[in-house]
Amino acid sequence: MKKILYPTDFSETAENAFIFALQVADHLGASITTLHAFNKPDVSQVNLPGMLSEVYESIDLDAFESYEDEVPILRDIASDNGYYHVPMVHVLEEGAPVSAILRTANRDKADLIVMGATGAGAMEAFFFGTVSGKVLEKAHCPVIVVPDSAEFDGLINHIGIATNFSEHDAELVEAVREFQKHMGGQLHVIHINTSNDDDVKERMDAFFEPWKNDKSISYECIDHKDVNEGLEQAMDDLNIDLLAILSHRRTWFDELFEVNRAKELSYSSSIPLLVYQQENLKK
């Protein structure tokens, strides 16, 4: 992972996610592209009078000047936190947040997107709900979702991996192992047993067989009736700094009857999520 895309609305939450992006970039030896999206109103079907037309055209300039004022703040944050050496490029894109983020990630061949889970003020929708949820589903690369309550010490000592013993979960473990090689720390493969299955120990042993000789990986089985609460408990008990989880593109039927686990978790936890898209794991 050498290219990190960091979308920002310049809120405090976004600044918190920026510090996390800097820490990850420092460990990976990666560069960061900061992205701010602005959306002009659609007036394609309207004939604007001369003065209003000039006002509409000036929106681009206003957005640029606002962004130009914020760039030094980002540089100061990097310098103040000891990451002045991390290479950065600053990009301003017109368009709705989701499309701007995905378009930029694809164009620049980003290896990782780091973004906040909530936002502030008029741009709250930039980070809350549909935006981060759609990005983590549709992006071609992994996405780290950083809750506004997350706190960092500069180290990622413990990475959790949520599993339900599926084939794709095994691919997730391998993907996170590659990430962990650069980040360091311990991996914890976590299963939440919601149905008190008697054979869960045997299933966990069988799933974990490929990594049983790897001292940097351990596994935990937590009995809990609720997956989210069980994961929260496991993250607290194991001092998890980052939780890896799978997301996959939903059909309309899925959306009607099932909540996307990654989207739900991104708003209930204070731990950043590393979200891999199931469809991209083997790419």
9-26 pLDDT, tens digit per residue, is 777 777 888 999 999 999
- Percent of the chain predicted with pLDDT > 70: 76
Neighbours of 246 (CB within 10 A): 21
What DSSP letter does each residue of 228-280 carry, written as one string? HHHHHHHHHHTT-SEEEEEE-PPPHHHHHH---HHHHHHHH-SS-EEEEEGGG
Residue 123 has pLDDT above 50, yes or no: no
pLDDT digits (tens, 9 = 90+) for 58-69: 455 556 566 666
- Across 108-119, average pLDDT: 84
Segments of 19-151 assigned E as strands = 31-38, 88-94, 112-116, 143-146
109 band by pLDDT with thresholds 50, 70 and 90: very high
pLDDT digits (tens, 9 = 90+) for 230-242: 888 888 899 999 9
At position 112, the amino acid (one-letter code) is L
Residue 124: per-residue pLDDT: 40
Domain at 158-280, CATH from 3.40.50.300, 3.40.50.620, 3.20.20.70, 3.40.50.12280: 3.40.50.620
Residue 90 has pLDDT above 50, yes or no: yes
CATH number of 3-146: 3.40.50.620
Residue 229: per-residue pLDDT: 83
- Across 252-268, average pLDDT: 54
Query: In whole numbers, what is the pLDDT of the chain averaged over residues?
Result: 79
223 and 195 Cβ atoms separated by less than 8 Å:
no
Q: Which of 91-95, 179-183, 253-257 ranks highest by mean pLDDT?
A: 179-183
Segments of the chain assigned E as strands = 3-7, 31-38, 88-94, 112-116, 143-146, 158-162, 186-193, 217-223, 242-247, 273-277
Q: How far apart are the first and last CA of the chain?
A: 14
Residue 74: per-residue pLDDT: 86
For residue 99, give both structure tokens. 């499309």
271 band by pLDDT with thresholds 50, 70 and 90: confident
Q: Domain spans of the chain?
A: 3-146, 158-280
Which of 59-68, 91-100, 190-199 shows the lowest mean pLDDT across its residues? Answer: 59-68
Residue 108 has pLDDT above 50, yes or no: yes
200 band by pLDDT with thresholds 50, 70 and 90: confident
For residue 269, give both structure tokens. 């936890």
Check for a shared fold between 3-146 and 158-280.
Answer: yes
Residue 230: per-residue pLDDT: 86
- Across 249-277, average pLDDT: 64
Coil/strand/helix, residue 90: strand
- Across 69-87, average pLDDT: 87
- Across 111-131, average pLDDT: 59
Q: For the stretch 119-146, what's the b/e string if a residue is b when 16 or more beta carbons lie within 10 angstroms of its beta carbon?
A: bbeebeebbbeebbbbbbbbbebbbbbb
Residue 156 has pLDDT above 50, yes or no: yes
**C-alpha dihedral (208, 240, 191, 249), degrees to nearest 10:** -100
Residue 91: per-residue pLDDT: 85
Neighbours of 195 (CB within 10 A): 8
Q: What's the rounded Cα separation, in Å, for the pair 244 and 204? A: 18
Q: Which residues contact 155 (CB under 8 A, 6 or more apart)?
A: 184, 185, 241
